[in-house]
Amino acid sequence: MTDSTAGRVALVTGGSGGIGRAVVERLAADGYAVAVHHAGNAARAEEIRDQVTAAGGRAITVGGDVADEEAMARAFDATEEAFGGIDVVVNTAGIMLLSPVATLDLADLDRMHRTNIRGAFVVSQLAANRLRPGGAIVNFSTSVTRTQFPAYAAYAASKAAVEGMTLILARELRGKDITVNAVAPGPTATPLFLADKSEEQVGRIAAMNPAERLGTPEEIAGTVAFLAGPGRWVNGQVLFANGGLA
């Protein structure tokens, strides 16, 4: 904990997931009170909450579909009721469904659009209206917007939309003392990334960056912690955390 983080409150969407969990753990260790959001896996969110509180931190769980503005308004309400306000919103919630464009099931496109684009918009809209001065909004993109890996077109398109929204919102919040940035991880060792990939595929992707390994959720969480706290002069940016991949 530092003087800059003491008393601050963070809401982390997708906080029961791989990167989301690492973000919760890092912010809690930095002294934030944290609302751990889940979209259905309440037991895992409660496990993380209990882990934080057992270590002397403050945490609650909140649930809801990120694309449902009423459900997310209730999540914001619960966080404010528990901790008195919100300073940081980290929007890690997202889904990744891979397919070449030619054979993509359009239902998968719609699912990603709802969660990755509408969900990010709903959460950012609420945050823009409810964060305290000195706050930070951290959205999530992907390094695939640069690397252009085959089969990632629909996912990359959804995250490119998040980048555009993030950069514009930063400028719209002029005078409110709220920063808005996006983190664009490279390949990171999470269940979302590793799903349905062979060991050979994972090794090939890991070798693409100069460090010749996958990133870790904790490394991405460190980037988020910088933007949420000391990185006040970074605003309206997409920060690529990918070990030099692109």
- Residues involved in catalysis: 155
Strand intervals (E) in the chain: 9-13, 33-38, 59-63, 88-91, 135-140, 178-185, 238-241
All residues at 6 or more sequence positions from 241 whose CB lies less than 8 Å from its CB, including other chains:
143, 183, 184, 185, 186, 215, 219, 220, 223
Distinct helix (H) and strand (E) counts, the chain: 10, 7
**CA nearest to 90, candidates 22, 158, 30:** 22
Q: Give me 140's structure tokens.
A: 């999530």
Helix (H/G/I), strand (E/B), else coil: 244: coil
- Interior angle at CA 86, CA 43 and CA 16, nearest 5: 20
